[in-house]
Amino acid sequence: MLLTILFEVPVLRLFLTAMTADRIEAAGTLASIFMILGLPMFALGLYGLIGGAAAAASGGRAWLRTPLAYLPVALLLFIAAALSS
């Protein structure tokens, strides 16, 4: 949890910088929004993976359950952030 907050600080700084600039940049704003949403989801997904949620269900159904389902969504948000900048 503490690491997520620590990684969230530069992203929030990027978001505030992009939003308060004289000319608002869409790329910086979108990238930071995707990262702001993706970092907590990634942390929750990793917590579920480390906590053994993958062993609770067999096969691919484990990735459809709540803690692990956050990982693919977070990775998609990270890819969207990279492509938007």
Whether 5 has a pLDDT exceeding 80, the answer reads yes
User: CA end-to-end span of the chain, whole Å?
Assistant: 27
Whether 1 has a pLDDT exceeding 90, the answer reads no
pTM for the complete prediction? Answer: 0.86
- Tell me what pLDDT residue 24 has: 87
Domain definitions of the chain by residue range = 11-84
42-78 pLDDT, tens digit per residue, is 999 999 888 887 777 777 777 788 888 999 999 999 9
Q: Report the distance separating Cα 45 and Cα 51, nearest Å.
A: 10
DSSP 4-72: HHHHHHHHHHHHHHHHSSSS--HHHHHHHHHHHHHHHHHHHHHHHHHTTGGGTS-GGGGGGSHHHHHHH
12-44 pLDDT, tens digit per residue, is 999 999 999 899 889 999 999 999 999 999 999
Residue type, 43: A
